[in-house]
Amino acid sequence: MRSKRLWNAFQAWLEYRPEGMDDHTARVFAMARAGFPSAAVAHFVLCFVFYLLGLEVLFVFNVGSTLLWSYVVWRVNWHGDIKMPFFLGAVVEVPLHGVLATYYLGVETGFFLYILLTIIASVLMPFMARPVRLGMSGFFVLVLAATGTFSVLFGAATPLSREANAAFFAFNSLLFPLLIAVVIALYEWIAERAEENLIESRWRTQVANESLENVSRQLAKYISPQLYQAILDGEQEVRVESQRKKLTVFFSDIVGFTETTDQLQSEELTSLLNEYLTEMSKIAHRHGANFDKFIGDAIVLYFGDPETHGTKEDAAACVRMAVEMQRKMKLLQSTWRDRGLDRPFQIRIGINTGFCTVGNFGSEDRMDYTIIGGEVNLAARLEAMAEPGGILLANETYQLVKDWVAAEEADTIQVKGISRPVVTYRVSEIDEDTPHGEPHLLLNEPGISLAIDPTRMDAVARKDAVSRLRAVIDTLENDR
């Protein structure tokens, strides 16, 4: 049990990686954490060996190497640094060690060190481009050849006995292949573990992203799509601030809502109200309206923030939306009558264009993105004065859409907060093609409901519709 805990702790120690480190560097980092302490211990042992052999220069060098590798281990394990340790170890200490070992002890000793160094430089150095690594390997080979040639020609600076040379050669012959095999096995094991961790990490990331996406979708239903996207894109700061903009403001509510609710159970009322708000929201979204709020049965929308297509186009989009809403209401009224509702909902709409204050209002902990000002109040007043099923425009809005909207002048009103009298216009019809997919409602009265959408009919369907209408006309005329 204790050995298993130690093994798990060792695995966790090897698999640790500093935040932000890529997979390849993490593998090299893990091997460095395991290999560098081994190098420090090996040089510490060599200090005693060379001390006992009386090789003073190599003894001093290995003391320095032991201190250097200890510093390297400290940098890797306590600071997560790997660039400087690899430079000090692979570029400085090992080549110098190889040169000194070849010069003092002969080519047999230095040969194995240069093999190890070439492998490190060619395969494991993750911070140099491939040409640099290969260049370093070539340079090390040349230095080895030069030092080895010098050693062969002139002999080792400190000749050892044949027995000592044989012992060093045997030791290196066993140690370095074993060390290389262990390094490769360790690399493969770490690579396998890293792959497993990567798969698990991706799975966790995917689950977290799906959860975050689900939460984002839920939160998006509480704010307007435009504001939601602006916050995600970093275009809108979530802080208490506001600005003045020219907006087109829309107010609507249900006429006689209180009287209608007295006829319905709460479940029926909830279903009807949600159906109405859903259909109106779809139309608003299609025309690019910014949702301000639902106030019971009332809807407050505006155009011109955070995105605007220009004051004229914003006003036009708002009026088109209002007309489409009233058309949709007539279809809904027909559907509701079929369900047995004697007094189906009717809505009235007020629209005004003017400068408003828009932004975040509240505290740093809780705020609401909304619009305020006299022009907003005017739109609310227009809605209250509009006829059931009607649309009432302020003069400034009408002037922006009068080229294609037929309207008749209505009452001139005085609104608190606005010094000037406000001329209003009652929309009667629009001189535009009905938007694709919206039926031309010809009649919707008790006893008769007729809706036709020619855009959804082919030639055969139109011919059949004409025949059916003529038959209905004949029936009505014969029953008089």
Given a cut of 70, whether residue 449 has pLDDT beyond it is no
* Cis check: omega of the bond before 159, within 30 degrees of 0: no
**What is the SS3 assignment for 14?**
helix
pLDDT tens sequence across 161-185: 777 767 766 766 666 667 667 766 7
Distances in Å between the Cα of 431 and the Cα atoms of 3, 200, 363, 403, 438 are 86, 61, 46, 8, 15
pLDDT tens sequence across 28-50: 777 777 677 877 887 888 888 87
pLDDT tens sequence across 194-210: 677 777 777 888 888 88
Higher confidence at residue 239 or residue 76? 76
Q: Could you tell me what percent of the chain has a pLDDT over 90? A: 17
Given a cut of 60, whether residue 122 has pLDDT beyond it is no
What is the reported pLDDT for 422?
Answer: 87
Given a cut of 60, whether residue 124 has pLDDT beyond it is no
Q: What does pLDDT average to over the chain?
A: 78
- Structural contact between residues 375 and 249, judged by C-beta atoms closer than 8 angstroms: yes
Residue 315 banded pLDDT, cuts 50, 70, 90: very high
Angstrom distance (rounded) from CA 346 to CA 330 = 8
Higher confidence at residue 407 or residue 455? 407
Mean pLDDT of 396-424: 85
- Structural contact between residues 375 and 352, judged by C-beta atoms closer than 8 angstroms: yes
Angstrom distance (rounded) from CA 68 to CA 82 = 14
80-94, 280-294, 392-406: lowest mean pLDDT where? 80-94
Given a cut of 80, whether residue 220 has pLDDT beyond it is no
What is the reported pLDDT for 432?
Answer: 47
Distances in Å between the Cα of 312 and the Cα atoms of 39, 315, 397 are 77, 5, 8
pLDDT tens sequence across 265-301: 888 888 888 899 999 999 998 998 988 888 888 999 9
* Plot region of 304 (φ>0 → left; ψ -120 to 50 → alpha; else → beta): left
86-90 long-range contacts (CB < 8 A, ≥24 apart) are 86/28, 86/32, 86/125, 86/127, 89/36, 89/39, 90/117, 90/120, 90/121, 90/124, 90/125
Higher confidence at residue 455 or residue 308? 308
41-45, 305-309, 413-417: lowest mean pLDDT where? 413-417
Q: Could you tell me what percent of the chain has a pLDDT over 70? A: 73
pLDDT tens sequence across 350-374: 999 999 999 888 887 778 888 998 8
